[in-house]
Structure 1
Amino acid sequence: MEKEGLKRSLALLEERGVTMESIVRDPQIQKFLRESSITHYYDVFHMEKGLSKKLLKISQNKGCEKLTKWLRSIKNHMYWTTASSTSVPERTWSSILNHVLDIHTHDDPAFPQCLHPIRTSTDRSKWLTAGTAVFCRLEKALTNKRVMKDVVKLSPPYQTSSLEAFHSLIIHFAPNNVVFPFLRMLCRLYLAVMHFNENTARPQANSDGEPLFRLQFPKWKKGECTAKPVKEQATFSYVDEIMDLFEKPDQKEVIERYATRYSQWPV
C-alpha cells in the first residue's frame, strides 16, 4: 500500500509538471526509486535511533559499560557527519573510532584530524582501549557494510520531521477514533494542510527579548530532559479567506427578520 501510494503521488506530480529529483524517506522501496531515477536519501533521526538502540544493548553487556559514556557523542557525531561532509561522509563517520581511543589525528587524507579543540581530559577512564571487547563490538556496529552504505545516503539539508509534524496535526482535525465519510475527511485534510502551511514557519516566542523554551521528557530519550522552543500563537487567517468565498448576509435584513418564539405580551 505504501509503495502504491508513492507511485500515485509521483504520477500526480508528473502530470502537474513537477520533476522529482530526490526524496527523503526510510530505506524501504529502494528498488522502485532507483528504477525511477530518483535519488533516495535517508532520514538521520531514524538511522540514529536504530543504531543507538543497538549500542545501548551492547553497553549493557558485561565489560562494555564504558560505552554508555559515548552514546550521546556518537549520536551527535552522526548528525555532524551528515551536516558537514559532502564528498566522503563515511570517512568522517569512521573517525569516531579513533576519537574514542583519544586519538585525534587520522591516517585518512580526506579527514586528517578532528576539528574540535584538543583538550586534556580529566576523566581518563572514559577512553576505550583498542583490542578490548567493548571496542571491537563498537567497531563492528559502526563500520559494518550496512551502516557504511547508509551513512552515504543520509540527507544533509532535509529531514522527515516536518512531515511527521503534519501527520500529528491531521489527528487534531480528523481523530483516529472517529470515522468520517470521504467528503468530510477530504475537507478536514484540506483544513489541516492550510493550517500547517500558515503556521509551520512561526517564529519562536520571546519574553522581554529572551527566547522562550519549555522542558520536555520525551519517551524515546529514556527520561532525559530536553529543551524545546516555544512558538508564537497559531493564526487562523485561512478561515477568513474561506469565509470571503461565501456571500455574507446583510446584517440589517437578518435583524429585521428576527422574532422571538415567546410572546412579549403578558398572559
Structure 2
Amino acid sequence: SNEVKGSANMEKEGCVRAMEFIENQGLEVGLFLSDRHIQISKWMREEMPETVHKYDVWHIARSFQKKVDKLGKQKDCESAQQWGRSMTNHLYWSVMSSEDDNSLPVKEKWLSLINHLHNKHKGHGTIFKKCQHGRVKKKKWLKHNTKVSEKLTDIISNKRLCNDIIMASNTNQTSLLEAYHSFINHFAPKHTAFSFCGMISRLRLAALHYNKNSAKDITRTKTGQDCYSISFPKYKKGQHTVRSIKQKSTYGYMEEVAFEVFEQTSRPPVACLTQPPPLASQFVRPNKKEAVENHLSRFKKLS
C-alpha cells in the first residue's frame, strides 16, 4: 500500500482500522491476541489500555528456536541444537502450566531452564523452587564458563524474551487464524493479480468456506476409532507430527450463494462496490522521452 512505508507499518495500520471497525459496530474488545509486533504492542498500551493484550506462544517459540539454531552453527556451540526441542517444549510448558494473573511463576519456570541445562534441578526461585520432571535420561549437560553455556544463558535470560513469555496466552492462540491465512491462498494465490472486486469476492468466499468447514469432525473407522496420520513437515526438521484426519469438506453453502447472486442481479439496480484507483495512479508519471534519454545516458557513461 502507498499509505504506509512498509509491511510492518501496514500490519499496524490494519490493526488500527480493524479496531475502529469493531468499535463502530458497538462492540468492545476485551482480549486481543497477536504476535510480538512492536508497533502494535505500543499502540495497544497507549490507545487501548483497558483491553488485555496477549501474545501467541507459537510465535515466541519460533523466534527462540531460530536463535538456538543459529547458535548451534557456531564453533563449540553444536550442543545447543541437541537441546533445541527440549527447550522449546519447556517454553510451552512454562506458559501453559501457569495462571494469567501472576507473572512471577512463569518467569521463574522459564529461567529454571538455565539451571536444568547445567544438571541443577533445585533452588530455582522463590515460588518455583525445583523441577517437576521425573528421572531424566542421561544427557550431555552443559558446563559453566563455556562458550555454549554463556551464549545460551544470554538468549534464555534476554529481557525482551522474558517479558514476552510473561505476556504469552495460556489459553487462546492464533493457530486458527494462521490456518485461515494459509487457506486464503487456495482462493487467491499470491502469484496471480486480481481486480479489487475479484479479490474481495475471493476473500469472502474463503471466509464462507472456512467458517463452514473449520469445525469438521474427525474421521472414524467402522469400529469407531479415530483416524490419524503421521507426516514430516518442513518446520519440524526431521521430526514427525501426528495429525487427526478430518472429514471431507462440504460445499452446500454454494447453492445459497448462487441463488442469492441470481436474485440480486435480476433486480435492477445492481449494487456495485466502489473501486479505488490503482496504486500506480498515485505516482508521478515522468515524460517518456526524458526517461528514455536518461536511461540511455547511463549506459553511455559506463562505456
Tell whether the structures are fold-level matches, with TM greater than 0.5: yes
Match of 2:202 among 188, 195, 199: 188
Q: Residue 53 of structure 2 aligns with which residue?
A: 40
Q: Residue 172 of structure 1 aligns with which residue?
A: 186
Q: 1:106 to 1:238 in 2, by over 3 A?
A: farther
Q: Residue 116 of structure 2 aligns with which residue?
A: 99
Q: Residue 51 of structure 1 aligns with which residue?
A: 64
Q: Residue 240 of structure 2 aligns with which residue?
A: 225
Match of 2:90 among 60, 63, 77: 77
CA distance in 1, matches of 2:182, 2:23: 27
SS at match of 1:236: coil
Q: Residue 256 of structure 1 aligns with which residue?
A: none
Q: 1:185 to 1:61 in 2, by over 3 A?
A: closer
How far residue 178 of structure 1 moved from its aligned partner, in angstroms, is 3.0
CA distance in 2, matches of 1:31, 1:171: 30
CA distance in 2, matches of 1:177, 1:147: 35
Q: 1:120 to 1:215 in 2, by over 3 A?
A: closer
How far residue 130 of structure 1 moved from its aligned partner, in angstroms, is 2.9
When the two structures are superposed, what TM-score results if normalisation uses the length of structure 2? 0.74
Equivalent residue letter for 2:116: H
CA distance in 2, matches of 1:151, 1:181: 41
Contact 1:69–1:126 (CA under 8 A) maintained in structure 2 = no
When the two structures are superposed, what TM-score results if normalisation uses the length of structure 1? 0.83
Q: Residue 253 of structure 1 aligns with which residue?
A: none
Equivalent residue letter for 1:171: N
Q: How many percent identity over aligned positions?
A: 37
Q: Residue 230 of structure 2 aligns with which residue?
A: 215
Structure 2, gaps ≥5 residues long: 1-9, 264-303
Number of equivalences: 244
CA distance in 1, matches of 2:124, 2:237: 37
Contact 2:108–2:124 (CA under 8 A) maintained in structure 1 = no
Q: Residue 269 of structure 2 aligns with which residue?
A: none
Match of 1:108 among 104, 121, 125: 125
1:7 and 2:16 are equivalent in the alignment: yes
- Deviates further, 58-67 or 162-171: 58-67
Within 5 Å, give how 1:83-162 maps onto structure 2.
83-86=96-99, 87=102, 88=104, 89-117=106-134, 119=135, 121=137, 123=138, 125-162=139-176
CA RMSD, 1 decimal: 2.1
Structure 1, gaps ≥5 residues long: 248-267
Offset from partner CA, 1:42-97 (integer Å, 9 cap, x none): 22222211211211222233333332321111010111111111222111111111
- Deviates further, 235-244 or 14-23: 235-244
Contact 1:205–1:232 (CA under 8 A) maintained in structure 2 = yes
Contact 1:100–1:127 (CA under 8 A) maintained in structure 2 = yes
Contact 2:95–2:169 (CA under 8 A) maintained in structure 1 = yes
Offset from partner CA, 1:159-212 (integer Å, 9 cap, x none): 222112111221212222333332332222222111111111112222243322
Q: 1:168 to 1:68 in 2, by over 3 A?
A: closer
CA distance in 1, matches of 2:202, 2:148: 52
CA distance in 2, matches of 1:177, 1:52: 30
- Deviates further, 146-155 or 181-190: 181-190
Match of 1:163 among 177, 186, 198: 177
CA distance in 2, matches of 1:165, 1:77: 24
Q: Residue 29 of structure 2 aligns with which residue?
A: 20
